[in-house]
A and B are shown apart, each in its own frame.
Chain A
Amino acid sequence: MQNNLNELTTQVRRDILRMVHKVNSGHPGGSLGCAEFMVVLYNEIMNRKKEFDMNGLNEDLFFLSNGHISPVFYSVLARSGYFPIDELNTFRLLNSRLQGHPTTHEGLPGIRIASGSLGQGLSVAIGAAEAKKLNNDSSLIYVLMGDGELQEGQNWEAIMYASAKKIDNLIATVDLNGKQIDGATDDVLPMGSIKGKFEAFGWDVIEIENGNNIEDITKGLLNSKSLSGKKKPVCILLKTMMGNGVDFMMHTHAWHGKAPNDEQLASALSQNKETLGDY
């Protein structure tokens, strides 16, 4: 199983790199950093129906709040069977369902909300969690947010609400890569202890120290599931490496929103050999 997930992750990385290279735009850094997490979530954790329907009754739902990491979302959705893998070829092109940032507007299966303007996904996830409670549906809601995104005030309205209203069918993951467009989060706007803040707001917090390790991610997610249903929302602090898996994209914020050129792509792909077949 572990091997399969490693192979899938490598293929997802190739998808991300090839997608952004082709259109010379998009966000490879955060996408690569969350590849392992998204692969584990969709393949090992979420209880999903094969066919997509918007209401998603009696299945776990996922919301991507930091919509700019759409390449990893699209790759994982396609390779989970939501739409043809070949369609990854249309990323950011005119008339594509794979818009620069995810949207429901073009009817791409697997997407339940538009995101890209930051700070809105957690509120939407809370609404979906409330709907599950009203429907007596015991499935879970997952949402992924960026750490820089926590600078948006709406998140703190939502964080306050979730604990006050005991939204305990919600697992919110923060991609803690410490970077945003203008640099390190600690330089742009230091946020202090994110763990301390979530705890002060009444959340259970789980830390995944190596957020690019499939075993650690699996353990952390299983642990978070076991904490659900206990009258508290659950937060996962996922410590990732932006640009993970491509040596020159790591340890810098430079690849947040920049595509590799031909040479750089070749180098990046040589570090991630084809496993399950390119689109």
Chain B
Amino acid sequence: MKEYTYTEKKDTRSGFGAGLAELGRKNPNVVALCADLIGSLKMNKFIEENPSRFFQVGIAEANMMGIAAGLTIGGKIPFTGTFANFSTGRVYDQIRQSIAYSGKNVKICASHAGVTLGEDGATHQILEDIGLMKMLPGMVVINTCDYNQTKAATIAIADYVGPVYLRFGRPAVPVFTPEDQVFEIGKAVKLVEGSDVTIIATGHLVWEALEASKVLNKQGISSEVINIHTIKPLDEKAIIDSVSKTGCVVTAEEHNFLGGLGESVARVLVKSKPVPQEFVATNDTFGESGTPKQLMDKYEINSQSIIDLSLKVIKRKKN
């Protein structure tokens, strides 16, 4: 099997910052807005190089979403930056009416998603944002897995016309996808070929899936690992093709199982190719304070859970 390695760990939010800086140089219509979290979102470089195209709105996320919608009228491509919690739940109606229903070309860029935000605790750890955003008609939902992919996605969404939710995180995680990758919205990336079980992961759980795949391989189990960076629109063909081969699936995400990637995959399979599925996701709960590692372990969203549920789902297959 193909083995993935890494030489360094970097935060996905820095990938966003680097992508935004590159966009600033190559697309004069790209503008950025932030609600008092420039450092956390790594937006400094863009701001330094394009001060007139940056809007600091202060701690006023609702106003930020409205201003972003208005900036599109005049041909601008606004990128909003704040934590995932304040990018979605706090401003849901502003996004719904002024951006999604109005069909505005706004890129909602959300850092510190999920429990790996860590010590700040549940007030800041949103585990419901994928569900909130994927329910909005016309909204593209992307959750990237490492620095390189986040950078590539940030650059790619500027060329797509329409509202996008781009979700990434706080902690440093392995950089294992190619630096020169072309990011294609809605296109799954098969990382490992396998035949016994399909592991479909998004965001920080993609690396965990690769780790799990290595361990399973040592136990003589062949797993196929698919990186679903775009949850909506979902690459249904890639999912169906893979489970047609393996006959079972484990989905893995840093999100509530309600409303997350797993549910989207289940919907596809139940209509076209019903197979046993297990869900690595949080179980209808809020998070809490702790280190990212402690939280991923406690809430069972890690490689060990992927291994355990892979073994379980394989047993559920009808022979």
Contact = CB atoms under 8 A, between A and B. Distances in A.
Interface of A: 54-57, 61, 63, 103-105, 112-117, 120-132, 134-135, 137, 153-154, 157-158, 160-161, 164-165
A56 B71 CA distance: 12
B200 interface: no
A114 B98 contact: yes
Given A61-B73, A134-B53, A113 B60 contact: no
Contacts of B52: 134
Nearest to A61: B73
B102 A130 contact: no
A137 B55 CA distance: 18
Nearest to B66: A123
B73 A123 contact: no
Looking at chain B's contact residues, is the secondary structure mostly helix, strand, loop, or mixed? helix
Contacts of A164: 58
A49 B29 CA distance: 23
Contacts, number: 119
Given A63-B70, A154-B62, 10 more contacts: A54-B73, A56-B73, A57-B75, A104-B101, A104-B103, A113-B98, A120-B97, A123-B94, A128-B70, A131-B76
Interface residues of B, number: 32
Contacts of B93: 117, 120
Nearest to B67: A127
B39 interface: no
B71 A130 contact: yes
B69 to A, nearest CB: 5
B57 interface: yes
A161 B73 contact: no
B43 interface: no
Contacts of A115: 97
B59 to A, nearest CB: 9
Contacts of B101: 103-105, 114
Interface in B25-41: 31
B70 A131 contact: yes
A98 to B, nearest CB: 16
Contacts of B53: 134
A172 to B, nearest CB: 13
A144 to B, nearest CB: 15
Contact of A128 (B55, B58, B63, B71): B71
Contact of B66 (A61, A154, A160): A154
Contacts of B71: 127-128, 130-131
30 contacts: A54-B73, A55-B75, A63-B70, A104-B101, A104-B102, A105-B101, A105-B102, A105-B103, A116-B97, A117-B96, A120-B93, A123-B63, A123-B64, A124-B69, A124-B73, A124-B98, A127-B68, A128-B73, A130-B55, A131-B70, A131-B72, A131-B75, A134-B53, A135-B74, A137-B74, A153-B62, A158-B63, A160-B58, A160-B60, A164-B58
Nearest to A137: B74
A127 B94 contact: no
Nearest to B106: A127
B239 interface: no
B209 interface: no
A24 B196 CA distance: 62
A161 B74 contact: no
B311 to A, nearest CB: 48
A161 B76 contact: no
A54 B72 CA distance: 9
B97 A117 contact: yes
Nearest to B68: A127
B249 interface: no
Interface string B82-107: 00000000000110111001111000
Contacts of A55: 73-75
